[in-house]
Amino acid sequence: MTEDSDEALMRAIAQGDEAAFRTLAHRHLERIRRLARKMLGGQTDVDDVAQETLLRLWQHATDWRPERAKLTTWIYTIVYRLSIDRLRRVRTLSLDHAMQATDPNPDALASLAQASDVRRLAAAMQALQPRQRAALALFYYEEMDGAEAAAVLGLSLRAFWSLLHRARQAVQQRLQVSTPSQEDPA
């Protein structure tokens, strides 16, 4: 274990080391914001959730057990729970609104032919149930394996696969991606 491994940094944070906290926060902040952004859609809440996640990381540093879960899994769990809390409070966008929503920063892909499809996908994702959205974000965006993603959501692996299946199908339906199975169920 190196001096700046997640484990070593977390031990230092548990003893009140602010420099270690800063290093760890820099290392994980982007992924924290990515998941929060995928879950919440809006920019303001994203940064609130990100900061609250960092705060929890500090406050509960002694609770993390490396033998039980990877640090990223633990962090994603915090982000997921905070995002769900936030969504419950805000009562998320209606489906109609979500389907009209535009990508907050479409310029990055404006030159690509698929940009509008990507925007439709982002809107379709926002219209999903939060758990379905989280399943897709963890598996397809964060590229976690099934067991880790299931742990973040507090599900068995079997339940996670089932959730992921429903989520992907829901996105396909919302995008109206015409697959052969929709045309011909045989």
Partner 1 sequence: MTLDLFIRCLDTFGADFRRWPEEYRSDAMDLRNASAEARRHWEAARRLDTLFALDRATTRAEGAAPASLIDGALRRIRNARRPAIDWSWLFGRPMRAALAATFAAGVLSGVLIGPEPLAVRPQGEFVISFLLGDGATDLMEPLR
- Asked if 21 interacts with partner 1 (CB under 8 A), we say yes
Which residue in the set 62, 104, 159, 173 belongs to the binding site for partner 1 (CB under 8 A)?
104
List, in sequence order, the alpha helices (H) in 41-185. 43-59, 71-90, 95-100, 115-127, 130-136, 146-153, 157-175, 180-183
Cβ-based nearer residue to partner 1, 82 or 122: 122
Give the contacts of 170 (CB within 8 A, at least 6 positions apart). Answer: 124, 128, 132
- Asked if 180 interacts with partner 1 (CB under 8 A), we say yes
Least Å distance, CB 67 to partner 1, is: 25
User: Of 165, 9, 122, nearest to 75 (Cα)?
Assistant: 9
5 three-class SS: coil
- Asked if 44 interacts with partner 1 (CB under 8 A), we say no
Are residues 56 and 78 in contact, defined by beta-carbon separation less than 8 angstroms?
yes
Q: Which two tokens stand for residue 5?
A: 């491994």
Which residue in the set 11, 33, 70, 81 belongs to the binding site for partner 1 (CB under 8 A)?
33
- Asked if 54 interacts with partner 1 (CB under 8 A), we say yes
| Cα(152)–Cα(134) distance, integer angstroms | 9
Number of residues that bind partner 1 (CB under 8 A): 48
**Where does this chain bind partner 1 (CB under 8 A)?**
18, 21-22, 25-26, 29-30, 33-34, 37-38, 47, 50-51, 54-55, 58-59, 103-106, 108-109, 112, 114, 117-118, 121-122, 125, 136, 139-141, 161, 164-165, 168-169, 171-172, 175, 177-181
